Amino acid sequence: MVDTAERFYQRSHEAHNRIAGQTGSMTVSQELSTPGHRYYCVYENLLKRPGASVVELGFGTTQFLGELAGLCRNYTIVDVIDRTNGVALPDNTYFKKADLNQDFPFEAETFDCTVAMMIVEHLFDPFHSLQEITRITKRAGKIFINVPNIAAMKCRVQLALGRLPMTSSRDWFEKREWDGNHLHYFTVKEFIRLARLQGLKLDAIFTVGRLPWLKRISPGLLCHEISYGFSRP
């Protein structure tokens, strides 16, 4: 029997389902190594620390999987539904079905690196999410989390005009999923505060999108989404 949470995420997956692998004229490695890419911070870390044990929570697409997994000892992808769309996984990659609103199905300090890209805002309790992310990451391990930024100028203008600040796809209403099924909103200051509650150390803030050099001037104002890099002491 499918529970409420699984139906919620399955519906979102079906609304956003598309064929992966279309990177234009760029190779996957070129795309991942471009500043401003959502996974740039993850890719650069894995290049510097090859052979790590990595888990990606709320796995969304196989588009970058081969390139990322190729740098790791093992790569575990976790979600309440299977988003692989029948694509064969690399030999060192494992899919684990789990509801991430519950305690994560791993022992403490299992992974060298934990990746959560555009997932925390979809989970019921961000305090629980950060607690579990920290728990399953090894001491001195790395954590990369990407979330939207509600304090971005674009959102401020929308709110000033009496509109709902949009932190997901523009056609969220037509898809009948309230702001892309985002359940929580974050600012830079409050997200770092949330991470520090678990003892995490902020290594860097990575701007996402075009003109990364400009966005670095004031990420909290100019970035619609941000990737954070943390270390677990």
What is the tens place of the pLDDT at every residue in 135-149? 999 999 999 999 999
How many angstroms separate the CA atoms of 110 and 138, rounded? 6
CA dihedral sign, ordered 64, 211, 141, 197: negative
Q: What is the DSSP letter of 124?
A: S
How many angstroms separate the CA atoms of 34 and 37, rounded? 6
| Domain residue ranges of the chain, discontinuous segments joined by + | 4-148+181-231
Q: What is the pLDDT of residue 85?
A: 77
For the residues 205-231, what does the mean pLDDT come to?
A: 95
pTM: 0.90
Two tokens, residue 118: 């555009």
How many angstroms separate the CA atoms of 83 and 85, rounded? 5
Interval 93-138: pLDDT, tens: 999 999 999 999 999 999 999 999 999 999 999 999 999 999 999 9
CATH of domain 4-148+181-231: 3.40.50.150
- Alpha carbon 99 to its chain centroid, in Å, reads 16
Place 10 in a pLDDT band, splitting at 50, 70 and 90: low
Q: What is the pLDDT of residue 1?
A: 44
How many angstroms separate the CA atoms of 36 and 58, rounded? 21
Q: How far is CA 106 from CA 96, 207, 216, in A?
A: 10, 30, 36
How many angstroms separate the CA atoms of 217 and 207, rounded? 10
Taking a C-beta distance cutoff of 8 angstroms, is the pair 93, 115 a contact? no
Taking a C-beta distance cutoff of 8 angstroms, is the pair 24, 46 a contact? no
